[in-house]
Amino acid sequence: MTIGGVPLLLTTVMLAVTSGLSGAAASDVQQEATSASLASVLPAPVVATATQGVTYRITTTTTIYAQAGSAAAADIAGQLAAILRPSTGYPVPIAAAPSSGPADGISLLLSGAPTEVGDEGYQLDVTDASIVVRANQPAGLFAGVQTLRQLLPPAVESASVQPGPWEVAGGQIVDHPRFAHRGAMLDVARHFLPVSVVKRYIDEIALYKLNRLHLHLSDDQGWRIAVNSWPNLAIYGGSTEVGGGTGGYYTQDEYRQIVAYAAVRYITIVPEIDMPGHTNAALASYAELNCDNVAPKLYTGTKVGFSSLCVSKEITYTFLDQVLGEIAALTPGPYLHIGGDEASSTTASDYTTFMNRAQQIVAAHGKTVVGWHDIVNAPVLPSTVAQFWGTTTSNAAVTAAAQNGTKVVMSPANHTYLDMKYNSRTRLGQHWAGYIDVQDAYGWDPGAYLAGVGETSVLGVEAPLWTETIETLADVEYMAFPRLPAIAELGWSPMSTHDWASFNQRLGAQGPRWHVMGINYYHSTQVSWPTGS
């Protein structure tokens, strides 16, 4: 059997066989054999096989053993211990894994994993004597630990000691992601969100094995990152936001902190400087950037499409080179997102001139360009990635680019835009792309959604959260949960596991965890939430 995705029903039958029951309806077995949690992991694992009657119990003597000689494995062990210690009250010491392999406790090993799990996958084995996570790379160990968290009772996420017992259902999971790019986007330009909020969001997206955080750092209403060679961008351009608040910006050290915080959770930061449109904050900060040398006022409204960098002025490209050079130097990840959307105030020929030069500048700084899919209206570099944000299932320009080798990140606005209202009663958000409840977020296939853009052209998925109407962490969490886990599952799990009834049950099982974690999620009426949610 290939690893490539065992239909849940088959997995259920495997559970029946394993449990020795016969004749029981598969769904009954599903509930009985794995009522603990092996079947409630989200995203759905590629293969999950329960071992009936086997349970591992974490106790006061449980030790975490990390791959000897791996600082990354030790750090992941530390992150796991930091979850277990407060809620269990146990010491949960960490030690180097003995070369003889796991004897007891929880082992995080960088050997013995199946090749097909790749760099981000893992194998998790739970017996009554030990829990063993095996991976080829630390990212896989981290993913395995996120799964392990979900196999423990929700109370394990508590910051204070809870009664337990701390049991994990026996079995084996062999798991690896479908797509390489599994992302969330946070617009910190319309409303500025402080580092603490970004870090909390990183914690939350890591729970569901997302590995990209795209930060929308500049727009008409605000510039959110300090640039030493153009200091007014942040100081003046970052001094307000939608609605006229005080805005704010990240110092370069704060940006480094965000990058580092994401990195130890195996999340790559993708910074976006939107251009040539969505640039009022920059144009307001430096008169010389404007074609008429007159700086517009700061803008605190929510219109789009009225601004453009001056394509004909050479200072524009000096500006790009210096700004993108500083941001590239601060960003270990391979991508620089240059936006390109809604350039209504830039002529088509100017747009092409601009994008030709902008892409060259990004490449000169050693980074790969990402752009909203509008960018394919200009000639794109072979490596340039297009982020599709349309509401249609066909787009001739994107299809042509894909068939010419361009990779596509799927963010169809009517399925992934987390700033869309759930329904007409949702206070926050907009609805220009339609209302999006959980079934809309879940009910599509990124690898077969856009005509002519097949699985091999799709780099992955990303859920943008625009903040015209979003101001606080509570607002972010209300819009992201429970829809973001749907996008996370589409990015990670094989399509063979795609099943609304199963997803609904597994999503509902996250409710009690979010309750313990204090995540301010929307209790969608489409989800069957268990008690304690």
Q: Return the residue of 65, 122, 417, 444 that touches ligand IFG, per CB under 6 A.
A: 417
- Three-state SS across 331-342? CCCCEEEEECCC
Instruction: Report the nearest approach of ligand IFG to the CB of residue 340 (Å).
Output: 9
Question: Is beta strand 47-58 parallel, antiparallel or unpaired with respect to 166-175?
Answer: antiparallel
**Cα first-last separation, the chain:** 37
* Percentage helix, strand, coil for the chain under 3-state DSSP, each rounded to 5: 35, 20, 45
Our CB check for ligand IFG shows the closer of 326 and 341 to be 341
Residue 388, interface with ligand IFG (CB under 6 A)?
no
Q: Which of residues 154-183 bind ligand IFG (CB under 6 A)?
A: none
Q: Which of residues 91-110 bind ligand IFG (CB under 6 A)?
A: none
CA 259/CA 403 separation, integer angstroms:
33
* CB 376 within 8 Å of CB 390: no
Q: Please name the residues in contact with 367: beta carbons below 8 A apart, sequence gap of 6 or more.
A: 324, 328, 331, 334, 335, 336
342 an active-site residue?
yes
Our CB check for ligand IFG shows the closer of 316 and 387 to be 387
Instruction: Report the nearest approach of ligand IFG to the CB of residue 95 (Å).
Output: 48
Residue 419, interface with ligand IFG (CB under 6 A)?
yes
CA 531/CA 34 separation, integer angstroms:
18
Query: How many amino acids of this chain bind ligand IFG (CB under 6 A)?
Result: 9
Residue 422, interface with ligand IFG (CB under 6 A)?
no
Cβ atoms within 10 Å, residue 263: 14
Residue 430, interface with ligand IFG (CB under 6 A)?
yes
Instruction: Report the nearest approach of ligand IFG to the CB of residue 375 (Å).
Output: 11
Our CB check for ligand IFG shows the closer of 426 and 497 to be 426
Q: Return the residue of 321, 326, 341, 437 that touches ligand IFG, per CB under 6 A.
A: 341
Our CB check for ligand IFG shows the closer of 351 and 389 to be 389
Quote the tokens at residue 90. 């146990």
Phi (first) and psi of residue 62, to 5 degrees? -60, 130
* CB 418 within 8 Å of CB 478: no
Q: Return the residue of 223, 335, 466, 522 that touches ligand IFG, per CB under 6 A.
A: 466
Q: Return the residue of 75, 342, 350, 499 that touches ligand IFG, per CB under 6 A.
A: 342
* CB 460 within 8 Å of CB 179: yes
Catalytic residue among 241, 342, 462, 477: 342
Which three-class secondary structure state does DSSP give residue 493? coil
Quote the tokens at residue 155. 């109370």
Q: DSSP secondary structure string, 415-441?
A: HH-TTB-SSTT-SSSB-TT----HHHH
CA dihedral 196, 199, 203, 204 (to 10 degrees): 70
CA 33/CA 30 separation, integer angstroms:
6
Q: Return the residue of 179, 372, 444, 449 that touches ligand IFG, per CB under 6 A.
A: 372
Our CB check for ligand IFG shows the closer of 266 and 389 to be 389
Q: DSSP secondary structure string, 72-86?
A: HHHHHHHHHHHHHHH
Instruction: Report the nearest approach of ligand IFG to the CB of residue 182 (Å).
Output: 19
Our CB check for ligand IFG shows the closer of 119 and 342 to be 342
Quote the tokens at residue 97. 């894994």
Q: Return the residue of 304, 381, 474, 495 that touches ligand IFG, per CB under 6 A.
A: 304
Instruction: Report the nearest approach of ligand IFG to the CB of residue 463 (Å).
Output: 12
Instruction: Report the nearest approach of ligand IFG to the CB of residue 342 (Å).
Output: 5
Our CB check for ligand IFG shows the closer of 254 and 342 to be 342
Quote the tokens at residue 187. 């617009």
Our CB check for ligand IFG shows the closer of 137 and 359 to be 359
Residue 389, interface with ligand IFG (CB under 6 A)?
yes
Residue 345, interface with ligand IFG (CB under 6 A)?
no
Residue 431, interface with ligand IFG (CB under 6 A)?
no
Give catalytic residue positions.
342
- Using CB under 6 A, list all residues that contact ligand IFG: 304, 341-342, 372, 389, 417, 419, 430, 466
